[in-house]
Amino acid sequence: MEKYTLIITEKPDAANRIATALDAEGKPKKTVSNGVPYYQAYRDGCIVVVPALGHLYTITSKQKGRRYPVFDYQWVPLYLAERGASRIRVWLKVIAQLAKDAEGFVDACDFDIEGSIIGYTILKYACGGKEAVAKRMKYSTLTKEELQKSYAHLQPTLDFAFVEAGLTRHEVDWLYGINLSRALTQAAQNCSGQYATLSTGRVQGPTLRFLDAREKTINCFVPTPYWSLTAKISVNDTVLEVEYEKTLENKAQATAIRDACKTKEGQIEAVDVKEFLQNPPVPFDLGALQSEAYRIFKYTPMRTSSILQHLYLSALISYPRTSSQKLPPSIGYKTVLKKLGKAPAYAKQTADLLSKPTLKPNEGKKYDSAHPAIYPTGNLLEKPLDSAERNIFDLVVKRFLAVFGEPALRQIITVTVSINGNFFRLNATRTLKEGWLRFYSPYVQLKDDSLPSLAEGQKVTVKKVTLGDHLTKPPARYNPRTLLLKMEKEEIGTKATRAATIQTLYDRKYLSGTDSLFVSDLGFEVIEVLSKYCPSVVSSEMTRILEGRMEAIQQGKETKQNVLQNATETLKFVTSELKEKEAQIGAQLSQPIQKSRIEERTVGACPKCSDGKLVILRSKKTGKRFVGCTNYFLSKCTAAYPLPQTGTVKPLRSACKSCGSPIVAVYLRSRRPWKLCLNPSCPSKGERKSEV
């Protein structure tokens, strides 16, 4: 092959799109070497485009074993540090071979901190130190036009500020994670003699602390009583409900007011009408989109991130990992709208916007130097999307349209009614002019109240006055959306890592629940240990300061060496404290770990005995697994059910719809999981067996 420019991309899909966009005829030659695809294109010379698979290098300790503290580390190929990553060895070998005959190098990984590290480490280690001579492609969409423009205007060097900040973040996070996690894990293992992976880190710890604090507030909450008064009145044959002007904390007073209102007639004292403009929403940054996707569709932040990545790689939306709420004119508002208008679902709305004399988005305050806010590219679908992808794509499109809409004109009507000198109120809202609301439908639904003609001094008929007794409620538990917003407010983690942090808390069994997040006994004990013996590592303030220092590295105002030195000094002190208290920590963690293990295997209540539970067990004789009662080995109960001997079995803690018996999920590598009823006589048994 003639000499060529080697382009490194982050993912195979991106490599395909970049090669297709850059090839003069749009038909690059694809080659697969030992399972690794790469593309040969021609555009003012030969170009070879080869993808990574995300991070191909990671950090690992230089010392062997699981001792701590550990401060000597190195960047190594992923296959040397992680099981199941053997494929990476071949991948790096192919990239290294392609690098030998290349005369120029371009980093075309995503233009953010993670993408910069991926490109930098490949160029440095796999390509033989080419990071110093490589150029950089910067783009926010994978559209043909933008990729060609990006290649025509290559940045002369890598974005070393991003690289330095990213390397620092990874290394600091590794130092905190490896040392604190080993301290907890070894303390528990030395006490119980059983291994269980426990983890924490500089973002994970403060996040768990938010949940812990909320849970304790809820558990310690003492409800107090209060009373409300509601009157049903009739005006022009229309029955309305009006509320007493304030909440009452004294029952005797509430009862006295109710009794005083036992009259047949009242009077409208005032009708207050106010109009206000409701501005359009601002463009989506990643956190806002994750929050909105949970509010509307109940998609977890992690799931939304995954869907967005697929839409981005399909060139349907711009780069999603952005904190920007700005849409610069350079993206071409009219061009995007014209493309979207070719889809029947958006034709009328885009036509309305294109008829405006000017297009100006309602922007937010947040700015990201690397990328604009998330917006649709205008490209039409090349292949069908699944329902979740369609939902998120439609949400992105509708939000983009809405930000160009006019403010909505709304009206608030406050009616004050006097019943024997006691004032009751009614608030009603109306939409006078839809404005942007019609572009964001059905994702915004505002209440529109209907009222009869009302005037001051008008008499009303009092039909009934009701006294309601209530108790104050504790604050709501966090859900994935509100926890994400809390992390963003406290400035811990990054737009790209917050969702993964929440997922890690689930994976470690510190957290459970979907709509409401519950802290497990293990989660409580972990945060109590950390708060007691090393409170600084669960402090959001410490994490916020570190985030600020890493941001300063990106701006050239701080150095990697200073930040790492500070982190090392902090960890030396913290790990010393944890080692000294290892026995106490182990004793505190062992019991909830054991309880967590039992809960993982618990299927449900035993149908045969009153005090037993059905759990996943193994036979002492054959080693085969089955579901049996906890009293089975005590010879107190004979309840037992067979299980498949291959795949992973997880309790679902729900009942079969056909017979009411407990069900489990069976996961096989090559198949989708299926639900299995434990009752051998279940009417659905034959159907479920056919799925195996």
Q: Which pLDDT value is given to residue 495?
A: 85
Rounded Cα distance, 669 and 329, in Å: 48
The CA–CA distances, whole Å, from 346 to 388, 403, 412, 611 equal 19, 15, 31, 60
* Cα of 318 vs its chain's centroid, Å: 18
Strand partners of residue 640 = 628
Rounded-to-integer distance, Cα 502 and Cα 487, Å: 10
The residues near 383 (Cβ < 8 Å, ≥ 6 apart) are 314
Confirm if 235 and 241 have CB atoms less than 8 A apart.
no
Please choose, from the candidates 395, 358, 360, the residue with its C-alpha nearest in 3D space to the C-alpha of residue 374. Answer: 395
pLDDT of residue 227: 96
* Model pTM score: 0.85
Residues 6+ apart with CB under 8 A from 115: 10, 109
What tokens were used for 4?
A: 């060529």
For residues 483 and 138, give the distance between their C-alpha atoms in angstroms, rounded to a whole number: 32
- Joined together, the tokens standing for residue 139 give 């783009």
- Which pLDDT score is estimated for 547? 85
Residue (of 433, 472, 458) closest to 240 by Cα position: 458
Structural domains of the chain, ranges and CATH numbers in brackets: 4-158 (3.40.50.140), 167-219+480-592 (1.10.460.10), 225-278+408-471 (2.70.20.10), 286-402 (1.10.290.10), 601-689 (no CATH)
Taking 70 as the pLDDT cut, the residues of the chain under it are 1, 669-672, 685-692
Helix (H) or strand (E) holding 295: helix 286-297
> Scanning the structure block, which residue is given the tokens 């993670």?
114
Contact present, 47 and 4 (Cβ < 8 Å): yes
- Exactly one of 319, 443, 533, 632 is catalytic; which is it? 319
Q: Is 319 a catalytic residue?
A: yes
Q: How far apart are CA 546 and CA 487, in angstroms?
A: 14
- Bridge-partner residues for 241, per DSSP? 232
Give DSSP secondary structure letters for 558-610: S-HHHHHHHHHHHHHHHHHHHHHTHHHHHHHHHHHHHHHHHHHHEEEE-SS-S
Cα dihedral: 85, 89, 91, 95 (round 10): 140
Tokens of 88: 């990476």
3-state secondary structure of 266: strand
Confirm if 613 and 604 have CB atoms less than 8 A apart.
Answer: yes
The CA distances from residue 459 to 261, 264, 265, 427, 441, in Å, are 15, 10, 7, 18, 39
Torsion of CA 374, 380, 384, 390, to 10 degrees: 40
Strand partners, 650: 665
Cα distance between residue 464 and residue 319, in whole Å: 58
Distances (CA, A) of 196 to 164, 186, 295, 651, 660: 34, 9, 35, 20, 34
Query: In 3-state terms, what secondary structure has residue 512?
Result: strand
Contact 537, 492 (CB under 8 A): no
> b/e map of 460-486 (b: 16 or more CB within 10 Å)?
bebeebebeeeeeeeeebbbbbbbbbb
Residue among 381, 319, 370 at smallest CA distance from 344: 381
Taking only Cα atoms into account, the Rg of the chain, rounded to an integer number of angstroms, comes to 31
Interior/surface letters 276-297, b for 16+ CB within 10 angstroms, e for the rest: eebebbbbbbbbbbbbbbbeeb
Q: Give the pLDDT confidence of 98-142 residue by residue, as tens digits.
A: 999 999 999 999 999 899 999 999 999 999 999 999 999 999 999
State residue 190's pLDDT score: 87
Tell me if the bond preceding 442 is cis, omega within 30° of 0: yes
Which regions of 211-256 does DSSP assign to beta strands (E)?
225-235, 238-244
Q: Which of 158, 166, 149, 183 is nearest to 70 (CA)?
A: 183
HSE-CB for 29 with a 13 A CA cutoff: 10
Q: How far apart are CA 356 and CA 524, in angstroms?
A: 56
| SS3 state of residue 515 | coil
Sort residue 449 into left (φ over 0), alpha (ψ -120 to 50) or beta: beta
Measured CA to CA, the distance from residue 91 to residue 405 in angstroms comes to: 48
Phi then psi for 217, rounded to 5 degrees? -60, -40
Those residues whose C-beta lies under 8 Å from the C-beta of residue 57, and which sit 6 or more positions away, are 75, 76, 77, 78, 121, 122, 125
Give the per-residue pLDDT at 613: 85
pLDDT the model gives residue 396 = 98
Q: Tokens 């009794």 sit at which residue? A: 259
Which runs of consecutive H residues, i.e. helices, occur in 130-250?
A: 144-152, 160-192, 204-219
In whole angstroms, how far apart are CA 602 and each of 523, 598, 612, 626, 630? 19, 6, 11, 12, 9
**Spatial distance between the Cα atoms of 371 and 112, rounded to a whole number of angstroms:** 9
Contacts of 242 (CB under 8 A, 6+ apart): 230, 231, 233, 415, 417, 424, 425, 426
